[in-house]
């Protein structure tokens, strides 16, 4: 466990992001996506705050394990809890957790639906069906609808708790002529709902809009719920070009800042070897070692990272080590450093972490989810 290196999470910024989300989608209920430890922010504190302070009553986790942690850690709070994947309906032990801990499984295959309907233990679980409308990942296929309807009627099921699908490319501009993009996916989703209703099924809840769709105000009007993930943590999920255009309707703030500290620093000359393998310094400068390495989540892939301190910009030089990294700052920065100084890798402005993602051709999800458990999460209200 680190001591001075930490991910600081401002819960009031989450509150403000939620207020802005309600301005974008004021008629939809929120199913808050908290997969992968709430995108690296800490699943239990985030959900506790979201329930008690924001009034959110539905959450989506990726695995049964995450859901069990939440139910065990927050037994006094009332909220709906979905599990999107990683379910084993053949496993009675897993199924008992679904029942005893009031967990709603997202059913994405005909095979799994059969297992639930034929199980004496699970047959009364609320039916949440996910359809594949073009993402080609998880979901019941459009061609399987007739089989689905026959199966549900054979088991006297006429009520569907939640029907959902997922966009494959909502980070790009959504238009009617975008090929097999979100617009076409959404038309198929509406057709699926229409077929189900025509065959006598009632649909209590429906959702399709993820962060990218919400940000573009798409797939909101006809659905009861939206499923924001990255958006509520303060970051746009749109691609770089779209973020900088008028198509973005989001002005949230990053709820986290990542800070570490200076271990050591000294002046070096051009040609001096540095660290593992002894790469040579390309110029004179101030070499600064920070307490953050690949053991904390900063893989060597992030070798273009730049860090600002006291108005000076340093860039990673040499290999990132397990426990630290070296940055080369200008020589004149030397007098502005002290051992133990706090240094921000990113702050609450979304642009910093988004620029890191853009520079390394990744998405911000990967950066946040990659922060290791030895980096403490510190929660504040300011």
CATH number of 256-347: 2.40.37.10
**pLDDT digits 0-9 by tens, 288-327:** 999 999 999 999 999 999 999 999 999 999 999 999 999 9
- Read off the pLDDT of each residue in 71-92 and give the average, rounded to a whole number: 94
What's the Cα-to-Cα distance from 11 to each of 41, 59, 186, 312, rounded to whole Å? Answer: 10, 17, 33, 30
Q: What is the pLDDT of residue 353?
A: 95
Q: Are 186 and 208 in contact (CB under 8 A)?
A: yes
Q: What is the pLDDT of residue 246?
A: 63
Domain ranges of the chain: 11-241, 256-347
Average pLDDT value over all residues in the chain: 94
Q: Are 269 and 284 in contact (CB under 8 A)?
A: yes
Is there a common fold for 11-241 and 256-347?
A: no
Predicted confidence band at 180 (pLDDT cuts at 50, 70, 90)? low
**The pairing of beta strand 325-329 with beta strand 312-316:** antiparallel
CATH number of 11-241: 3.20.20.10
**pLDDT digits 0-9 by tens, 32-71:** 999 999 999 999 999 999 999 999 999 999 999 999 999 9
- Read off the pLDDT of each residue in 350-362 and give the average, rounded to a whole number: 94
Q: Which helix (H) or strand (E) holds 117?
A: helix 110-117
Q: Which residue's structure tokens are 């002529």?
A: 177
**pLDDT digits 0-9 by tens, 232-282:** 999 999 988 888 766 678 899 999 999 999 999 999 999 999 988 889 999
Q: What is the pLDDT of residue 177?
A: 66
- Read off the pLDDT of each residue in 125-151 and give the average, rounded to a whole number: 95
Q: Which residues of 48-69 are buried (b: 16+ CB within 10 A; e: fewer)?
A: bbbbeebebbbbbbbebebbbb
CB-based contacts of 255, cutoff 8 Å, min separation 6: 9, 10, 11, 13, 14, 17, 41, 233, 234, 348
Q: What is the pLDDT of residue 249?
A: 82
| Both tokens assigned to 290 | 């920070």
- Read off the pLDDT of each residue in 315-343 and give the average, rounded to a whole number: 96
Q: Are 260 and 343 in contact (CB under 8 A)?
A: yes
The residue that leads in pLDDT, 370 or 171, is 370
Q: Which residue's structure tokens are 């979100």?
A: 182
**pLDDT digits 0-9 by tens, 208-230:** 999 999 999 999 999 999 999 99
């Amino acid at each position: 466990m680190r001591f001075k290196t930490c991910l600081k999470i401002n819960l009031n910024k989450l509150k403000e992001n939620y207020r802005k989300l309600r301005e974008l989608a004021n008629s939809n209920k929120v199913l808050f996506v908290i997969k992968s430890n709430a995108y690296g922010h800490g699943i239990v504190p985030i959900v506790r705050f979201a329930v008690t302070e924001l009034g959110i009553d539905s959450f989506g986790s990726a695995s049964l394990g995450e859901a069990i942690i939440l139910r065990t850690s927050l037994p006094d709070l009332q909220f709906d809890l979905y599990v999107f994947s990683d379910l084993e309906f053949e496993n009675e032990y897993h199924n008992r957790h679904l029942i005893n801990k009031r967990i709603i499984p997202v059913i994405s295959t005909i095979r799994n639906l059969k297992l639930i309907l034929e199980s004496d233990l699970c047959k009364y679980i609320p039916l949440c069906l996910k359809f594949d409308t073009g993402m080609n990942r998880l979901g019941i296929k459009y061609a399987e609808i007739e089989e689905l309807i026959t199966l549900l009627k054979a088991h006297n099921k006429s009520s569907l708790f939640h029907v959902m699908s997922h966009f494959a490319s909502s980070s790009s501009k959504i238009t009617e002529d975008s090929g097999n993009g979100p617009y076409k996916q959404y038309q198929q989703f509406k057709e699926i709902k229409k077929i189900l209703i025509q065959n006598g099924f009632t649909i209590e809840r429906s959702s399709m809009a993820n962060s990218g769709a919400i940000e573009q105000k798409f797939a909101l009007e006809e659905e009861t719920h939206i499923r924001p993930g990255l958006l509520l943590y303060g970051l746009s999920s749109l691609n770089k070009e779209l973020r900088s255009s008028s198509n973005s309707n989001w002005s949230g703030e990053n709820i986290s800042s990542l800070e570490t500290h200076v271990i050591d620093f000294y002046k070096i000359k051009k040609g001096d070897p540095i660290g593992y393998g002894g790469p040579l310094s390309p110029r004179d400068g101030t070499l600064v070692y920070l307490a953050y390495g690949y053991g904390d989540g900063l893989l060597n892939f992030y070798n273009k990272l730049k860090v600002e301190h006291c108005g000076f910009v340093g860039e990673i030089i040499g290999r990132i080590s397990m426990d630290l990294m070296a940055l080369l700052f200008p020589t004149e920065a030397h007098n502005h450093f002290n051992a133990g100084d706090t240094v921000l890798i990113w702050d609450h402005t979304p642009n910093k972490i988004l620029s890191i993602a853009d520079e390394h051709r990744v998405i911000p999800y990967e950066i946040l989810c990659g922060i290791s458990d030895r980096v403490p999460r510190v929660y504040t209200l300011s």
